[in-house]
Every structure is written in structure tokens, then in C-alpha cells.
Structure 1
Amino acid sequence: MRRAALLLLAALALPPRPAPAQEAPWPSRPITILGGFPNGSGVDIYARKLAEPLSQALGVPVVVDNRTGAGGNIASEHVARARPDGYTLLLATAGTHAINAALYRHLPFDPMRDVTHIALLGDVPNVLIVSPQHSPGLATCRELIAAAKARPGALAYASTGNGASTHLAGVQFAEAAGISLLHVPYRGQGPAMAALLGGEVAMFFNQSGPAIGAVRQGQVRALAVTVRRRLGPLPDVPTVEEACGLPGFESSTWYGLLGPRGLPPEVTRRLAEEVARIIAAPDFVRWLVESQGITPPADPSPEAFRRVHEQDMARWGEVVRQSGATVD
């Protein structure tokens, strides 16, 4: 009895346990947008352009962190496994979340189930650019196709990696034109462009944002764009259909903002609303169209984004199967 009484007195002497700390209203600290590709890539350019107005809208810093490697899978896995609190987001692409699903035999995350769709950010075409150093005589797409037919497998094209959209656009082009091209993968945008400029390869189906700058500076020659309409920044560059005589040819990807699975609905809704407002602003649309050659989405909503994602899982899966590309 005496021992029990002493224990009771000791318990009563303890200070009261503090109530659990309440989570601060979101957002109350910096938000990170991860990208899976190096500085200067199309993803990096877009993420940094979006971060500033999003920071102003939310009242907290929005920082961009590029975690490169494995075709974007390192950044994608990090976000898929992150706490779903709205502070870790991903600027995803059709490459990271549709192409890679077919390309990699063992992904450490599920590209559809392990994400929350926030906003579709735009449709991204490729530009067929050639190296004047390597092939000064190739002035048109039809001349390129004729040269490839004359020497099957001799013309090489760069890509930003095995299975990247810059690779698969070449696969689609070769299939449509009935030619054989030599694919040479590089580790990202910078090395691939350096190879083209140095004359190591003849061509590069580069994404529109980085390609436009090189064309404007006179470093490369643009033969065609891989969508059905000419790009505003390159009005004199025809479509593949026009320049190459390949009816209906189209090869483009998308950018989108994702969060981890289980992102709270109110956080998803706020992010979706703010991003939709930002990318619809006249100055932002002008930058997208005139500087990057990106088509703004008609419907950026999470629901529309999910539908596009689902469709592209099937579409790009077929292209990957045609290419025969795999990555372990």
C-alpha cells in the first residue's frame, strides 16, 4: 500500500503532458518541385518559370531541385515515396510516367497508382534539327530521307537517353518514312546537343524549348516539327507532314505537375487552381507558345490530366514495343 501511494504521489507531481502540436495550415514552409533532368533541359526550364509565380500565389518559397538519373526515375521515385503533405511535387513528363512504364522492366514505383494528378502543363513537340558540320548538304527533310534510303543505318541521330521521347520520335519517324537510322543515346540534353554541334551525329529530334534557342542562334538547321501545326517561334519550319511527305505524322509529349499518392483533396484543389490560373495568364501563354513552342492545355484539371496520362500509357507502350528498347 505504501509503495502504491508513493507511485501515485510521484505521478501527480509530474507536469501535465503537452497537447500534440497542431499541423500548421498548408502551406507554411517551402515547397520543392523535383525534376528528373539536368539544368537547361525542357523540364528544368518550365519548372523554374512556374516556381516564381506559384511562390507568389502561395506565399511560401517554391524551389526547384533536379535529381537526375535513370530516365527521370530517381526524382519520380522520391516523390512517389514522399509524405503526401503538399511540400514535395514533381514536374513529370510523358517520358517519366508513360514511356518508362513500358521501357523499364522493374520500376520501383507505379507511374499511375503512386501519384496524385494536379495539373496538365502543356503539349511538347520535338524539332528535327540537323548538324551543318556533319551534313551540310541536307537542307530538307526529303533530302534526309533520300540519304537514309541510299545508305541504310548510316545516318545517326542523337537522343537524351535510351527510350526518351527524343529517341522514340526518331523510331516513329524511321517507321513512317521506311528508313533505317542509327540511334546514339547520350546522357541528357547537354551531351546530345554537344554531339550534334560537334558533328558526331547527323540529327537530333530535340524537344522544342532547347531546340528553338539553337535554331535562332544559327547553330543548327531545323527541317521539321513533329506536330500537325507549325510552331509560333519557328514559323518558317514546316511540319513533318509538309516537309517529309508523311501524312498524319505526329510525335509529342506532355509536362504535368504530380504529387505523391494520397495528397489531401484541399491541397490538390488549391494547387490545381493556382497553377491553372498561372499558365492561363497572357504573359505565361506568350512565353509557352513563342519561346518554348509548347501548346497550353485546353483543360489543365487533375481529371483531364489523368485521362491524358492513361491514354499515353497505352500509346507510348506500343511505340516502345516497336522500338524494341528496354532498360533493366
Structure 2
Amino acid sequence: MCNQASGAVHDGGTVLQVHEVGGDIVLHRGPARRARAGRTKVRTARALVLLLLIAAGQYAISALGDGTFPDAATVRPIGADEKEIKTVVDMKLRSCASEHVPIPVNCPQRSTTAPRVHRAKWAIRGFPIDGMRVVWRGTRAFVSGTAIMTINYLTPNGTGDNLDKTRFSAEVRWHEGSLTEEDVDLLPYRDLGPILKRDFELTKAAAKEAIDEAFDLCTRSTTSPMAPICPRAEDTPLLDGVKWELNKSRVFNEAMNNDYEFGLVLVTGSYSVMAWSQDDRLVYTQLGTYRATLVRVANGIARVLQIQHLP
């Protein structure tokens, strides 16, 4: 049988007419099309290289912004346990809480209102792990978070109590196996993004019960001012041997607000307390607006950290 074929090759492709075909016909790509495919591959390769260079530059800028601390999250190492990272940072903070000075070295807490104190005692309130942020640079994890720490101390004028809202940062050197405090370095605070605590909110009933208990403890004081966590006004006198009485008819009209960064509940309301002498003479009345700072400790139970008298 006679095989007849005719056609032509153009930039747009091959045009082929076939008549009375018997056997195999093999078509080959025309030279123009092969050249165009080659140019396309080259352009694609160049584009990929450019994208990789841009990405590498952005990573270098973000990860090495200040030479020590990354500005954005990178991929964490395979097997890295962020829960363990947070736990070991929490252990480091609790070691700082065992310090007995108002401004401990290599720790985040500060009590500048108590420069000369004796027998200082720090304590962590609430949960620093809640809301903690972790970012990675290679095998190092960088952490930021917030904690509430209180300090109780003695001074030549009596006892004192301060509350410190602490922001902290740390670097953790990750390696396989158990981490210890030796793998953690506390750093000057660096903002890795907003801290949002979740497990701290209180019901109004729980807050009111805790505030009532705190005022009852305050009125057990036998001196004026009352105990350090209790409210005191600018004109509160220095008295010994007094009996405090809480005005039960005080108007509460409390307002509750949540501090999501530090995990605190703030309650404001009205109060009135009276100091009586040992022979039952009224010697002082303290009244006005208070602000109570509360923290959730466990199972929705509230604890009052301090009650302030607001001017």
C-alpha cells in the first residue's frame, strides 16, 4: 500500500495531512517548539532561585534582627516538645521566686518600692505557662510570657507587701532527652506577640466570696494601717491597739474587669471600715472606693492579692 503524507511545521505547531496510511508514523517536535520549551525551563529555574534568595533574606532579617532574638516563628526541630519547653521555663521562674532580695540578679521580677528590706519572700501567683509563646531558631527555643509575683518583707517600719506584674523572656537550648534549668537562660524581655491567658476568669460569686474573706482578715488587724494587702488611705493614722470594724451596710456595686495579659481579675467597689480604741471610742473611719486584684488558683477558687484604696 502507498503511504502518503503532507504537512508543514510552524511556530504554532505541526500541521499534517495523511492519506492511505499503512504502518507506523513517528512525529518529532519541531526545532522552534524545542527551543521555546528550553527557554521556559530556564525562566522557571531562574524564578525559583530568586524566590529562594528572597525567602533566605527575609529569614535572616527576622531571625537575626537583634543578633540574639528572632522576630518570627520558624520551623521547630523534629521531636521538639513545646510543653516540656514551657515546663522547664516555669521551673526557672520558680527558682527566681526563691530569692530573698527585692531585685534578684538574672531574674525578671523587680520590687523598686522596697529598696531596703529584710527577710524578703517572693511567690508566684497564677500560672506563667498560660499564654506563653514559643518561637524557634534552629535547635533553640525563644520564649516570652507573663507572671504575677508577690513579695512580702520586713522593714524598720514594719511589714510590707508588693505585687509585681512581670514580663519575662528566655532562651532554651533544645536537645533530645530531659531538659533542666541549666538549659534555660533568662533574657531581657522581648515582645514575641500579645500574651493571651485563658484559664483565669472568675464568676462574680467567687470574686465576692474572696473579697469578703479578705476584708474579714483585714479587720482582724490590731494596728492602723491594716495588714499590707489591705486598703490604706493617705490620711490613715499610725495607731496601735485598735479594733477594726467593717461596715456591713456598705454599698458594693462592684465592677469586674479581666486583665488577659497577666491573668488577673480586677474588682472595684465601695467600702467603709472603722477603727475603735480599746475603750470603745471611734478614732478613725476609712471609706471610699477600693480595687481588689484577684487571681484564680484552682477549680475556680479566687484569691485576693491586694486591695487598694483609690483616691
TM-score by length of 2: 0.23
| Larger relative contact order (CA 8 Å, sep ≥ 6) | 1
TM-score by length of 1: 0.22
Greater strand proportion: 2
